[in-house]
Amino acid sequence: MQQSFEELFWAPSTEQGRLAHKWPHYFPIYDRHFGPCRERPIKFLEIGLGQGGSLQIWSRYFHPASTIVGLDIDPACSVLAEEGYHIVIGDQADEGTLEKLRELGPFDIILDDGSHVGSHQHASFFGLWQAVRPGGIYVIEDTHTAYRPECEGGLRRPGTAVELAKNMLDALHIHHIPLDQMEREDKVLSSVHSTVAGVHAYDSVVVFERRDPCGPPLPDVMHGNQRL
């Protein structure tokens, strides 16, 4: 039987490993959304590596033949490549860095635990969304920082990860929005709406599901012949 993320996090083998920092209420979210991917090799990208402890846990959590990729702006993280991970050093908002990551994809899961700055999260999401495999997911962690001024945040402030999630909900419903209600900034929704399959929001975590491009929804249907 596979161990849960929480069990792996607290496992004795982790005590001598690299430092890992997580909020405990994230653990069941990982199992809910990442669990279906554990039976096969996948490509997993984590943005923001810290001390590298989470990479060690992910390598035990996913299939042994999975490819684990990490991105961090700190050159010191390059030592993690010696431990078997593919490490990219760079800024998550830099187009050159994002291009390197796209070349390593497509990914089944992308987890953004990076700078937590709104503009950086936006750049990474729109730069890497196309690198998510259909059926895959893109996760942004620590979205509570969307309310912190030092992270370009604030309640209902445009440009945060929380407002991005709200915009993706609009993208899911774009075929139902009258054109005269669409504003100029909504054009970005039309660039991703056909590939957004779902948006899941939790305390400090947002999960976006990707699908193959699709057109307008099918007409609603009825079945049965009895009426009240």
The whole-angstrom separation of Cα 49 and Cα 90 is 12
Q: What's the confidence (pLDDT) of residue 26?
A: 97
Q: What's the confidence (pLDDT) of residue 54?
A: 94
Print pLDDT tens along the chain (228 aa).
789 999 999 988 766 778 889 999 999 999 999 999 999 999 999 999 999 999 999 999 999 999 999 999 999 999 999 888 999 999 999 999 999 999 999 999 999 999 999 999 999 999 999 999 999 999 999 999 999 999 999 999 999 999 999 988 988 887 787 767 766 555 566 677 789 999 999 999 999 999 987 777 777 888 888 888
CATH assignment of 5-75+83-210?
Answer: 3.40.50.150
Closest CA to 79 of 97, 55, 44, 115: 55
Q: What's the confidence (pLDDT) of residue 190?
A: 66
Output the pTM of the full model: 0.92
Q: Domain coordinates of the chain in residue numbers?
A: 5-75+83-210
Q: Which positions are annotated as active-site residues?
A: 116
